[in-house]
Structure 1
């Protein structure tokens, strides 16, 4: 059976490619660059700080023996051992009508005890003056965006044991020294353990 080649629609921006552009990557197209360029200058730093959170959280989990990280697109896992479900800079692209909390619960329900949720979520809580510019840039690119407040991000961790320091801004989450530079962030970040 022959596989159909995947066709990438380069006429429409995609959030992952916009994020790649914000991080200085090369896997993006002019349409993605256009959306990224319309975002506030702070977006590049927020994306970099978010990526640093992901690296810190993954290193901390790996040091504790978690060696399976779930890539939603292609998962081959041993569900008898802990798994880290990584939802980095993803759920803010799901509007409330798509029930992102239920989707997260469904994914977590398949994981064994001792697994973890590693989540970062876009917010304007520390940048309220930039909220409209960010929303407008994504809307012009026809990319749904639902930045959430801390109270709206907390339910993603319902039923989980939050790892210290809890749900904090991406620049505040760390386990090992040296501590990251404290600065304003466009992301909440947290790690929760499946009991």
Structure 2
């Protein structure tokens, strides 16, 4: 069965809804309709998708420049949107190696766009499910691309709010981090209702009724993902306030972009 055969175009998928908000071209009518339902509730979601992407770029640049990371495992990759993580990292250190993982067939179909990196580095793509972490860690493509004896940055961008406690969100992150050596990092961005509970309740209802289940978490609940790790300053903060640079608009309020971001090191 080909990737196209597996794509259910009548059912919206988080990766394709996100692609719509980022003005991409890899979504279907059902995805656009679901995305627009969320926009009607939260007009700022399109800006939020862009700001979330910029957080990933800043965190990646910091990890490569300041922390010396040369290996990344990005789970919940989504549909390729340039610059992708490997392009950001390899622009600084061409020898960087990146493994992407996602469970949407359309990402698999477009994976070639994720595999064109610098000649000095390497990129690989796994069609895998975050809720089955052992299948990711034991995948030959991961073992062939990354050296798990050296530090790896685990990147979970806008993924964990789709994984409920009942599905083992905390345990899955722990399993993945336990497999990585000292000096590895965890990068997380996660939606929250801390600043406007009514808005996020309505967004969650609009999203979960058509796209996917999930769980919006508070600051303390997001911090739990980093237990046992050393948070990088400024800690877990609204993502556009994490080491802002010229890309960030200073007049954006926390309520307009209710997404936490954080980076932490495994001691």
Q: Is this a same-fold pair by TM over 0.5?
A: yes
Q: CA, structure 1 residues 47+142, in 2 after alignment: closer, same or farther (shift >3 Å)?
A: closer
Question: Partner of 2:24 in structure 1?
Answer: 25
Question: For residues 208 and 156 of structure 2, what CA distance do their matches in structure 1 show?
Answer: 22
Question: For residues 48 and 72 of structure 2, what CA distance do their matches in structure 1 show?
Answer: 23
Question: For residues 135 and 36 of structure 1, what CA distance do their matches in structure 2 show?
Answer: 12
Secondary structure in structure 2 of the residue aligned to 1:71: strand
Secondary structure in structure 2 of the residue aligned to 1:188: strand
Question: For residues 47 and 215 of structure 2, what CA distance do their matches in structure 1 show?
Answer: 20
Question: For residues 23 and 36 of structure 2, what CA distance do their matches in structure 1 show?
Answer: 12
Count of residue pairs the alignment pairs up:
191
Which has the bigger relative contact order, CA under 8 A and spacing at least 6?
Answer: 1
Unaligned runs of 5+ residues in structure 2 are 76-100, 102-125, 127-141
**The one of 53, 56, 62 aligned to 1:54:** 56
User: After the TM superposition, which segments of 4 or more aligned residues of structure 1 sit over 6 Å from their partners?
Assistant: none
The within-5 A match list for 1:6-155 is: 6=3, 7-39=6-38, 40-63=42-65, 64-72=67-75, 73=101, 74=126, 75=142, 76-155=145-224
The CA RMSD over aligned residues, in Å, is 1.6
Q: Is the 8 A contact 1:53 1:170 kept in 2?
A: yes
**The one of 2, 9, 30 aligned to 1:5:** 2
Q: CA, structure 1 residues 179+45, in 2 after alignment: closer, same or farther (shift >3 Å)?
A: closer
Q: Is the 8 A contact 1:173 1:189 kept in 2?
A: yes
Question: For residues 22 and 180 of structure 1, what CA distance do their matches in structure 2 show?
Answer: 18
Give the TM-score taking structure 1 as reference length.
Answer: 0.92
Q: Is the 8 A contact 1:92 1:147 kept in 2?
A: yes
Give, in angstroms, the shift of residue 80 of structure 1.
Answer: 1.9
Give, in angstroms, the shift of residue 61 of structure 1.
Answer: 0.5
Of residues 81-90 and 4-13 in structure 1, the stretch that sits farther from structure 2 once superposed is 4-13
Q: Is the 8 A contact 1:57 1:191 kept in 2?
A: yes
**The one of 145, 159, 181 aligned to 2:228:** 159
